[in-house]
Copies of this chain bind each other. A is one copy, B any other.
Amino acid sequence: MSTDGEKSITVGLLRPPSQSDPKRKRFRRCRSAPLSEVLPGEINAANGPQTPPSQSIFDNIHPSFRKVATYLILYLAIGTVCFYLVMDQIKGEKVNAVLDSVYFCIVTMTTVGYGDLVPSSTSTKLLACAFVFSGMALVGLTLSKGADYLVEKQEILLVRAMHMRQKLGPSEILSELENNKVQYKCFMMMGFIVVLFLVGTVFLATVEGLDFVDALYCVCSTVTTLGYGDKSFSTKAGRVFAIFWILTSTICLAQLLCYVAELNTEKRQKELVKFVLTKKMTNVDLESADVDANGIVGAAEFIIFKLKEMGKINQDDISLLMEEFENLDVDQSGTLSTCDLTLAQS
C-alpha cells in the first residue's frame, strides 16, 4: 500500500507538451496521487481526530500483521490449554505436558501431523479435527497478510545488497523494486527457506542425533507438511525448537509457492501488455474506443480502450462509472466543471 503511494508520487502525471494551456488555471495544481487500495474504514480513521504519535514497537507494526499475530497467539493459547487438559487422552512419546501441548498444537495446525502424538479418545479426536480446520484457516490468513508484510520490509535491503557495486540511489532502488517486486519477494523467500533448511538439518543432526540423510529427510517431510512421522522431534530441546521452526518453515514454503504463482500471473500479464501495445490499431478499434461517442478519440479514451484489451478493466467498470459521470454532468455538456460538481453534490 505504501509503495503504491510512493510510486504514484515519484512518477507523477505524464503530461503532453501543452503544459501552459491557460484553461488549466481553473484547477488548483495538485500532485498527490489518488488513494488506491485504501479501505473506507482506514480513510475514515485518517480523517478522524488524530491520535498522538506513539513510539511503542507494537504501534509501529502494520495493523494487518498485528491482527494475524494476535489471532496466532490466541489460537496457540487456547490450543495449549485444551490439549493440556486432555493430555492423558493423547498417546505417544511425551516429554513435558505443557511443551507437548504446544508442540501438538503446532504439528496439527500446520497439518504436518507426524503422528508421534495422537489423540486416543473420541473427544480428543474431535478436538483435533476442530483445531486442524481452524489452524488451516489461520495459516491461510498468515500467508495473505503477515508474511507478505515481513518480506516487503526486507526487500529494500536485498536490492541494495544485490546492486552493491552499482551504487544505486534511493530512487533507483525504489524503481528497481517496483519493476521486479514479486521476483525479489521470491528471492527473499528462497533465501529464508535455505537458511531454515540448514538450521533444521544441523539441529536434527546434532541435538536429535539423526544422521545427515535422516535429518534432511525429516526437514523435507516437515517443511512440506508431509510428516510421515518415522522421524520427528522427540527430545525436550527438539520440541522447543520444533515449535518455532515448524511454524516458520511451513509458512515460508507455502508463501514461496504463492509468490511463484504470482510471478507466473505477472509474466502472463506482462506478455499481454506487450502484445496489446504492439498490436496494430484498426478503424474498428478506433470506433470501439470512442467512449462518449462524439466521433473523436482522445488520449483518455485511447487509454481506456487499451486497458480493456489488457484485461485490467471490463465493460462493467466502464458502464458503472459512465452512469456516475452522467449524474455529475448536470449541464449535459459532456465535460465536468467545478460548476457541475457544485450543483450535483449539493
A61 within 8 A of B: no
CB A266 to nearest CB in B, in angstroms, measures 13
Chain B binder among A11-19, A76-84, A147-155, A161-169: A11-19
- Asked if A299 and B322 sit within 8 Å, CB to CB, the answer is yes
Contact of A295 among B27, B178, B284 (CB under 8 A): B27
Residues of B within 8 A of A108 (CB): 226
**In this complex, what residue of B is CB-closest to A230?**
B118
Contact mask A221-233 → B, CB, 8 Å, 1/0?
Answer: 1001111111000
Roughly how many angstroms separate A13 CA and B288 CA in the complex, as a whole number?
8
Question: In whole angstroms, how far apart are the Cα atoms of A280 and B328 in the complex?
Answer: 10
The prevalent SS among residues of A at the interface is helix
**Known interface pairs A13-B288, A128-B217, A318-B14; A229-B228 also in contact (CB < 8 Å):** yes
| Interface presence of A115 (CB below 8 A) | yes
Q: Does A271 contact B (CB under 8 A)?
A: yes
A314 vs B21: C-alpha distance when bound (angstroms): 25
Give the contacting residue for A140; candidates B129, B144, B261, B268; CB below 8 A. Answer: B261
List A residues 84-119 near B (Cβ within 8 Å). 108, 111-115, 118-119
Let me know if B213 and A125 touch, CB within 8 A: yes
Which one of A30-38, A48-56, A184-192, A235-243 is at the B interface?
Answer: A30-38
Query: Are A316 and B11 in touch, CB under 8 angstroms?
Result: yes
Q: Is A74 an interface residue (CB 8 A)?
A: no
Chain B residues, Cβ within 8 Å of A299 = 291-292, 322, 325, 329, 334
B residues within 8 A CB of A261?
140, 144
**Inter-chain contact B227/A315, CB cutoff 8 Å:** no
Q: In the assembly, what is the distance between CA of A346 and CA of B117, in Å?
A: 73
Interface residues of A (CB under 8 A from B): 4, 7-8, 11-16, 18-19, 21-24, 26-30, 32-40, 43, 108, 111-115, 118-119, 122, 125-126, 128-129, 132-133, 136-137, 140, 144, 178, 213-214, 216-217, 220-221, 224-230, 257, 260-261, 268, 271-275, 277, 280-326, 328-329, 334-338, 341, 345
Using A34-B309, A292-B299 as known contacts, list a sample of 12 further A-B pairs with CB atoms less than 8 Å apart, ordered by residue number in A. A7-B314, A34-B288, A37-B311, A115-B230, A126-B217, A137-B257, A178-B316, A298-B300, A302-B324, A303-B325, A306-B324, A312-B312
